[in-house]
């Protein structure tokens, strides 16, 4: 019996060792391609700004992190808040949250329609939802730019109908960025919502309607709680890329409405302040990690609630 147990233990250890060896190439790629650059950015954020870009290696400084929130007056060297950075940070968070809410309000009816339509048509509608992903993000942003610009489709139609007397200024505003991001990220909200609604047993809704519950109460008390995992997943999938968006704010916001991704690019490019750009990048990463933690916690509560 002892020999059999020892043989089984040795076999289990050999199996674990073989699995580690098989996983070693993938782990090495993750370490080098994902964690490695992140470590470099963290180190850069604690170094001194170079004279022509880059950094002065192995010279420790907290100026990069300090400049995220504070700045010194160029005339009297007094300390004050970095209003521009805080404004851009607030704009990024605000537009990301509003974009998430807008895509949820638009995506839920779409997902509900697809989940309740005839099964023969579901694949077609899902194909139509995923079709924009076949096109590059830059091209999609140029397309929506042609809709919103002063001489674009929207203003031309409103002028022709007589609804407005002069073109609406949508381009280079926060509203333009919001509409552009909602257009770009809407499929990321629809697909998780559809996945949850497709598994939902609509007999629960029918039973509630038979008990004289209003449509709004059925939606609020039955459907939404049951599909909450899809709502949470879709919200995270929209919020995270919106927070770090670069292309859409750059084209639709111009130089007037920068977001955090544009500010980071500016520091690594024209600003030539790599420590500040690195500190802003880590700040953005921290925001993404916080959003993921909220998602995990909300998903675990939702799962425990359904289980109970």
What does the pLDDT look like over 179-215, one tens digit per residue?
Answer: 999 999 999 999 999 999 998 888 888 888 888 888 8
Q: What percent of the chain has pLDDT over 70?
A: 97
Question: In terms of domains, do 20 and 167 share one?
Answer: no
Q: pLDDT of 234-272, one tens digit each?
A: 999 999 999 999 999 999 988 778 899 999 999 998 888
Residues 185 and 92 both lie in one domain: yes
Determine, yes or no, domain membership for 94.
yes
In a domain, 68, yes or no: no
- In-domain check, residue 55: no
235 with 283, same domain: the answer is yes
- Residue 302 pLDDT grade (very low, low, confident, very high; cuts 50, 70, 90): low
Residue 199 domain-assigned (yes or no): yes
Q: Half-sphere exposure (CA, 13 Å, Cβ side) for 136?
A: 4
| Contact (CB, 8 A) for 129 and 183 | no
Choose between 52 and 182: higher pLDDT. Answer: 182
The answer to whether 281 and 267 are in contact (CB under 8 A) is no
Domain of 19, in residue numbers? 2-45
> Mean pLDDT, to the nearest integer, of 158-176?
92
- Residue 306's nearest CA partner among 194, 204, 214 is 204
Q: How many CA atoms lie within 13 A of 230 on its CB side?
A: 24
In a domain, 53, yes or no: no
Claim to verify: residue 101 and residue 14 sit in the same structural domain: no
**Confidence at residue 19, expressed as pLDDT on a 0 to 100 scale:** 87
Tell me what pLDDT residue 106 has.
96
Same domain, yes or no, for 39 and 98?
Answer: no
């Amino acid at each position: 019996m002892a020999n059999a147990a020892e043989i089984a233990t040795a076999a289990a250890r050999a199996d674990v060792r073989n699995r580690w060896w098989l996983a070693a190439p993938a782990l090495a790629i993750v370490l080098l391609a994902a964690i490695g650059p992140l470590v470099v950015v963290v180190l850069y954020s604690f170094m001194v700004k170079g004279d022509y870009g880059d950094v002065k290696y192995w010279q420790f400084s907290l100026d990069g992190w300090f400049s995220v929130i504070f700045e010194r007056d160029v005339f009297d060297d007094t300390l004050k808040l970095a209003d521009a950075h805080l404004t851009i940070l607030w704009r990024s968070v605000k537009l990301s949250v509003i974009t998430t809410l807008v895509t949820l309000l638009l995506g839920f009816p779409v997902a509900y329609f697809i989940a309740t339509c005839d099964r023969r048509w579901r694949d077609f509608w899902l194909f139509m939802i995923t079709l924009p992903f076949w096109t590059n993000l830059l091209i999609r942003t140029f397309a929506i730019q042609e809709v919103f610009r002063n001489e674009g489709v929207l203003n031309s139609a409103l002028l022709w109908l007589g609804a407005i007397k002069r073109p609406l200024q949508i381009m280079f505003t926060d509203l333009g960025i919001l509409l552009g991001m909602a257009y770009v990220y809407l499929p990321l909200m629809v697909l998780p919502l559809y996945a949850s609604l497709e598994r939902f047993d609509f007999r629960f809704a029918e039973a509630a309607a038979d008990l004289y519950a209003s449509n709004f109460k059925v939606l609020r008390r039955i459907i939404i709680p049951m599909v909450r995992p899809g709502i949470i997943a879709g919200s995270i999938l929209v919020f995270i890329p919106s927070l770090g968006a670069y292309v859409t704010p750059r084209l639709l916001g111009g130089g007037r409405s920068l977001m955090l991704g544009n500010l980071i690019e500016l520091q690594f490019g024209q600003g030539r302040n790599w420590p500040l750009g690195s500190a802003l990048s880590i700040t953005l990463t921290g925001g993404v990690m916080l959003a993921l933690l909220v998602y995990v916690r909300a998903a675990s509560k939702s799962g425990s609630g359904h289980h109970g």
